[in-house]
A = this chain, B = another copy of it.
Amino acid sequence: MITIDYQSRAPLYEQIVEKFQMLILTGALPPGSQMPSVRSLALELSINPNTIQKAFALLEQQGYIFPIKGKGSFVAENDRLIIQKRENCLLKLEALLRHAREIGVPKADCTALLTRIYHQEVAL
């Protein structure tokens, strides 16, 4: 269901959070569906349950999931979340583009990249 990159500098719990954010925002885990349990995920990934717990606590705090005591965690409604996430992404993009301009990356290179990547979307 999820893969961990042990080479990455990002901490395990952060990777887990981001993976589930994607699964939820893309609809792979639709609102109302049950999350894997903390323990089962810990076993599957060979990661300490505490680390999974931390990731789930963050997901809950961000509004992605909600726990039902004794039953498990479930995916929440997420209309606002996807909008927030996109705005956030555009902010990062802005910062990176400014930096690109600053160090002399030609506009044409950025445009080409943009076209190439979004062209693939059509292809899909």
The chain A residues found within 8 Å of chain B, CB to CB, are: 6-7, 11-12, 22, 25-26, 61, 66, 68-70, 82, 85-86, 89-90, 92-94, 96-105, 107, 109-111, 113-114, 117-118, 120-121
Contact = CB atoms under 8 A, between A and B. Distances in A.
Contact of A85 (B66, B69, B103, B121): B103
Number of copies: 4
Q: Binding site of A, secondary structure by majority: helix, strand, loop or mixed? A: helix
Contacts of A105: 86, 89-90
A107 B114 contact: yes
B11 A102 contact: no
A114 B117 contact: no
A117 B89 contact: no
B96 A89 contact: yes
